[in-house]
């Protein structure tokens, strides 16, 4: 059979495969995310003229597919019964401390009390901040950016309908169509680590890109291809020389995201909370295999190709490229702190309470334990970083806020 006819045959079979899978999944009781997504990705690969898809395409579909992506799942993905915790699920004292910092910044630096949260999820942090702002009888505007329709629906259930102070958009582009500029505070917590990335590796002194193919058994597998000049130039400009055999993620989402933030933000501060490494930290032998991994019921999944659509997929943020690209786009870097250091400067220790009750599950005991977790505990204390960037404002007053004595706002 000639190659042209074979291509036509393969495309027809792939289209039929997608149609059959979709109707089968919707007619019987099976796990849609696991069953459909793996076959959907296999079909994408068969349809591609190259015979593979890059990692960023795989991650995008596995997480954000509008029907069967992980974040579109109806299962509980957050908290104890989910796959991972975020800080707002530990205790509201995290959100209260951030609210203190945000309101102090707005007042001290002459900013409107407008907050734009990227990747708000089901809205737990936003809900806690909004309740605190309303308790203080403050005038505010809260803008939510969340791609997943499923999570946006959950958010609406948390927040009263018809709330005049809250707006929601699916992407920054949609917000920018609605308003051309923004002044205030842009906040995100574990948003960057969930963005799609490419994967590269040093093999025999040459950079290669790792892509995803389908093997003879029908399983998703990795293959290496020649690295594009664009990726090589990016590594030369922003990253490190990889050691032999070392893998790393290429954050292809950064240029467009930083560009959008810079165009949108006229005056304000960007607070980015996430886990990540500096370029120097990426040189450590422990980083040889990169940082791309999955989470399933709080357990690390090394092979993210195994259950697409059923597990969270994450990577450690590359802070040096994020900061450098921001500076190129007009975003000034004011500092990057370990989360526990930042929370101390933001006044979390003022929430410690005296408690004489022997009931270890009292609200005061729970709050004090949560503060200890944020300040001294493993994971939340020192695993997360807080990156502070500004634009269009005099940052001298902000720097004073970030260097106050511990425990005092």
pLDDT tens, residue order, the chain (409 aa): 444 444 434 443 444 344 444 443 443 333 444 568 889 999 999 999 999 999 999 999 999 998 888 888 766 766 666 656 677 778 899 999 999 999 999 999 999 999 999 998 888 899 999 999 999 999 999 999 999 888 888 888 777 645 678 999 999 999 999 998 999 999 999 999 999 999 999 999 999 999 999 999 999 999 999 999 999 999 999 999 999 999 999 999 999 999 999 999 999 999 999 999 999 999 999 999 999 999 887 788 889 998 898 899 999 999 999 999 999 999 999 999 999 999 999 999 999 988 766 666 678 888 999 899 999 866 666 789 999 999 999 888 898 888 764 543 3
pLDDT for res 35: 61
Q: What is the pLDDT of residue 404?
A: 63
Pseudo-torsion of CA 86, 89, 94, 95, nearest 10°? 100
Which pLDDT belongs to residue 49?
92
Task: Report pLDDT for 145.
Answer: 95
Lookup: tokens for 84: 């991972």
* DSSP symbols for 89-149: HH-THHHHHHHHHHHHHHHHTT--SEEEEES-TTSHHHHHHHHHHHHTT---EEEEE---H
Residue recorded with tokens 């709050």? 367
* pLDDT score for 68: 84
Q: How many helices (H) and strands (E) does the chain have?
A: 15, 17
Q: Which helix (H) or strand (E) holds 50?
A: none
**Angle at alpha carbon of residue 64, lines to 13 and 127, rounded to 5°:** 160
Which CATH number does 87-195+252-275+316-401 carry? 3.40.50.12710
Helices 3-25 and 32-47: crossing angle, nearest 10°?
A: 170
Q: What angle do CA 139, 142, 147 make, to 5 degrees?
A: 175
pLDDT attached to residue 65: 92
């Amino acid at each position: 059979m000639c190659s042209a006819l074979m291509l036509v045959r393969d495309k027809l079979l792939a289209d039929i495969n997608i149609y059959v899978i979709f109707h089968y999944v919707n007619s019987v009781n099976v796990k849609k995310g696991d069953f459909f997504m793996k076959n959907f990705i296999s079909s994408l690969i068969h349809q591609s003229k190259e015979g593979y898809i890059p990692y960023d395409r795989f991650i995008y579909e596995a997480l954000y597919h509008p029907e069967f992506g992980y974040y579109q799942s109806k299962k509980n993905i957050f908290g104890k019964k989910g796959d991972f915790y975020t800080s707002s699920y530990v205790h509201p004292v995290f959100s209260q401390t951030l609210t203190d910092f945000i309101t102090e910044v707005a007042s001290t630096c002459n900013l409107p009390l407008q907050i734009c949260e990227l990747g708000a999820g089901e809205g737990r942090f936003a809900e806690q901040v909004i309740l605190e702002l309303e308790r203080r009888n403050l005038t505010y505007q809260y803008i939510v950016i969340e791609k997943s329709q499923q999570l946006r629906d959950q958010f609406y259930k948390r927040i009263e309908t018809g709330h005049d102070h809250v707006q929601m958009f699916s992407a920054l582009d949609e917000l920018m169509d609605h308003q051309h500029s923004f002044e205030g505070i842009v906040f995100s917590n574990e948003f960057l680590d969930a963005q799609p990335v490419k994967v590269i590796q040093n093999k025999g002194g040459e950079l290669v890109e790792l892509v995803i193919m389908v093997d003879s058994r029908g399983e998703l597998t990795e293959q290496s291809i020649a690295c594009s000049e664009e990726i090589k130039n990016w590594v030369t400009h922003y990253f490190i020389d990889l050691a032999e055999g070392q893998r790393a993620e290429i954050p292809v989402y950064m240029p467009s995201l930083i560009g959008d933030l810079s165009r949108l933000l006229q005056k304000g501060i960007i607070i980015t909370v996430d886990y990540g490494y500096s370029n120097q930290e990426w040189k450590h032998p422990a980083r040889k295999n990169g940082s791309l991994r999955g989470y399933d019921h709080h357990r690390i999944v090394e092979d993210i190709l195994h259950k697409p659509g059923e597990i969270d997929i994450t990577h450690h943020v590359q802070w040096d490229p994020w900061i450098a690209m921001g500076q190129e786009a007009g975003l000034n870097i004011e500092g990057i702190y370990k989360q526990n250091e930042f929370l101390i400067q933001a006044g979390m220790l003022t929430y410690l309470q005296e408690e004489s009750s022997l009931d270890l599950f009292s609200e005061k005991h729970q709050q004090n334990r949560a503060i200890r977790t944020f300040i001294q505990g493993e994971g939340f204390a020192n695993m997360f970083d807080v990156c502070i960037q500004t634009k269009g404002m005099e940052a001298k007053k902000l720097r004073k806020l970030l260097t106050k004595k511990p425990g005092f706002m």
